[in-house]
Amino acid sequence: MLSLEVNEFIERIDEMLRLVEEEGETIDILQCGEVVASIVPAQYQAQTAIWTNIETLAAEMGIDLQEEIDAIDIIRDAR
């Protein structure tokens, strides 16, 4: 993971976007030393969203299942 101040990121934006796209690099953008944004590869965001949705679905399914059956374990077994 890289961390760059905003002005340095702007100066090197082409290089930084290439690193994200081709190398899968994650970049934190800093302003006065504080993280104000993070740039992650698009595929990473999509994968994270999919697993978040699956965990949410598993939790919702658990409401209607018998107490000894855990919906999260069912989903994990299916993976």
How do residues 13-72 score in pLDDT, each as one tens digit?
A: 999 999 999 998 999 999 999 999 999 888 776 666 677 777 777 777 665 555 666 667
Structural domain harbouring 15: 2-40
User: Does 48 share its domain with 36?
Assistant: no
User: Does 54 share its domain with 35?
Assistant: no
> CA 6 → CA 2, 28, 35, 57, 65, distances in Å?
12, 9, 10, 38, 50
Determine the pLDDT at residue 75: 73
User: Does 34 share its domain with 47?
Assistant: no
Structural domains of the chain, count = 2
User: Does 53 share its domain with 32?
Assistant: no
